[in-house]
Amino acid sequence: MSRADRIAALHQAAKERILVLDGSWGVMIQRRELSEAEFRGARFADHPVQMKGNNDILCLTRPDVISDLHDQYFAAGADITETNTFSATTIAQEDYSLAPQDVFDLNLAGAQLARAEADRWTAKEPHKPRFVAGAIGPLNKMLSMSSDVNDPGARLVTFDQVYEAYRQQVLALHEGGVDLYLIETITDTLNCKAAIKAILDLQDEGLEALPIWISGTIVDRSGRTLSGQTAEAFWHSVRHAKPFAVGFNCALGGELMRPFIAELARVADTLVAAYPNAGLPNAMGQYDEQPHETAHFIEEWAKSGLVNIVGGCCGTTPEHIRHVAEEVAGVTPRAIPERPTAMRLSGLEPFELVA
């Protein structure tokens, strides 16, 4: 199946059913209890910086682990798997002293591993094609917020540096065969805008256009992102990208995330996606919410007509995804609302002036 055929199939599948994304990668990799030597592999055997904890590097050093996780999530019922490239930018990988070529290779390998498993499952179950989302995660440096409490204008990076980091990642993911881009766990909307610009610029330069899925993060019960925006203001900030889907993930469990998903479902004239944590972490940083509990919350969202794509974030396992897939099977996906023509502006709060 060509990439164009896969994208057409993705759009068709989204009309027919609620799509299911995979779950947490971090929790599943942690369960492997890999050693420092396994993280390093032969390529980084003499690397001067500790590599354990750099989960993305496993695309190069333990590809068998990554392929197996894609397989587990597809077997659990996922329609879409993410590449294991959440922190695979030159900026984020500075913590591990990786060279730009290493980062490019990491993204390329991550996309190729996911592509191979998606194609294998599609061949085995042609009635249910599987898709690959190129994971473009947040940075450890923010453009919207100061890095120094004594200097409001202080920044550790410039917009151009963030743009170039995302541009390289997008190129590698595209070359590796992803079907769509997933800009996820967005805490800083300006960082997100740099990723969007990188994608759109590359398309203007002739790179084949792929669907864009944008997923922000509401950090607490205030209903705002870390950079201060409400759910509706966040949507107004990214709507110009004409995303395939918009939504929220991480930070909150399904129970606390619901009102913010409902707000997006009201205002977004595109697909709405949500993949919550398995509840809130306990005192030890572990997630106690059981698969049937997570699935119960998501089932209610689905039956209330709030979502088009669902999945799991921190603490969710293939078993969580299996329960989610079972609960949303046969539920009609959310109908995309028709919004009146209006001038809509974004800041920390939304502004709308209907014509």
Neighbours of 81 (CB within 10 A): 28
Does 341 have pLDDT greater than 90? no
Q: What is the mean pLDDT of residues 72-97?
A: 98
Does 4 have pLDDT greater than 90? yes
Higher pLDDT, 328 or 339: 328
Domains and CATH numbers, the chain: 3-354 (3.20.20.330)
By C-alpha distance, which of 18, 300, 239 is closest to 216?
A: 239
Strand partners, 20: 310
| Annotated binding-site residue? 192 | no
Residues 6+ apart with CB under 8 A from 330: 17
pLDDT-derived band of residue 270, with 50, 70 and 90 as boundaries? very high
pLDDT at site 74: 98
Strand partners, 82: 133
Alpha-carbon span 265 to 247, nearest angstrom: 9
Does 62 have pLDDT greater than 90? yes
Q: Is the pTM of this model over 0.85?
A: yes
Phi and psi at residue 212, in whole multiples of 5°? -115, 130
| Annotated binding-site residue? 59 | no
Alpha-carbon span 224 to 211, nearest angstrom: 26
pLDDT-derived band of residue 152, with 50, 70 and 90 as boundaries? confident
pLDDT at site 231: 94
| Annotated binding-site residue? 250 | yes
Q: CA of 33: how far to CAs of 15, 53, 109, in Å?
A: 40, 10, 22
